[in-house]
Amino acid sequence: MAGTAPLAASTVPHPRRPFNSAAGSGCGADSGPDALRHWYENDLGWPTVPAAPGEPLRLVTGVRFDVLEVPAPAGVRALGHLVPGSPVALQGGRMRLLVAAGSAEELPGLLAWLEWGAPALDPGVRALGAGGAMDGPVRPGPSVGGIRPPSGSAEDPAGPVQGAAVWLRPPESGCEVEASLPTLSAMGGVGGAPDLVRLVNTLATECHRVRLRRAGRRTVRRSRPRRPGESSPEHGRGR
């Protein structure tokens, strides 16, 4: 498939502070789970799943939006296909891009149409849609605003606190998020929403490149000659 040559590792952008309109809602980043839930449900109109004690708040997918999830380095390459107000979250080494509701159902057909649907070719793009939920990202603020990927490790960017989700591009309060989300209806250039087809093709291509880079590094490590006195990786097995 064309365009599968390895690229240099990308740097994941630092999480961004929310817009002032969101910050003015009385829900600071360190205001607690009740304030965060109020922001999602009242300011954004996003349904949530009540959080059990000690568990993160969950956002219901398939109602206002679906989610495409990929390794963070692959997602970085796709950010240029989004409009500035299109929300994007990070958790662990994964990036979650919000897309139009119903997109998760379209993903298998899109990947097949783009020739990423062969049984032996896993594009690495995962989707959350109707009946699903994602961890509600915290809104970056003084307590988590310094979060950044570990130095020299774009393959495994850090979450804010013990793997919690964080907004890389937070949504705007009082705005209709649907207008900024990638959708199939934008394929013919109708409206200002990004084209879901181009986004999915970019994500699948970049996921493939990430796998090629990782496979190349594993090959280099296996083929490196052992130094005198260095034990074999197989040494000690079978005991």
Higher local confidence (pLDDT), 15 or 168: 168
Q: Are 106 and 183 in contact (CB under 8 A)?
A: no
- Mean pLDDT (the chain, rounded): 74
Look at residue 176 and tell me whether its pLDDT is greater than 90.
no
In whole angstroms, how large is the CA radius of gyration of the chain?
20
pTM confidence score = 0.71
Averaged over 183-212, what is the pLDDT? 82
Averaged over 160-164, what is the pLDDT? 63
Q: How many C-alpha atoms does 212 have within 13 Å on its Cβ side?
A: 17
Look at residue 199 and tell me whether its pLDDT is greater than 60.
yes
Averaged over 115-141, what is the pLDDT? 84
Instruction: Please count the helices (runs of H) and the strands (runs of E) in the chain.
Output: 5, 8
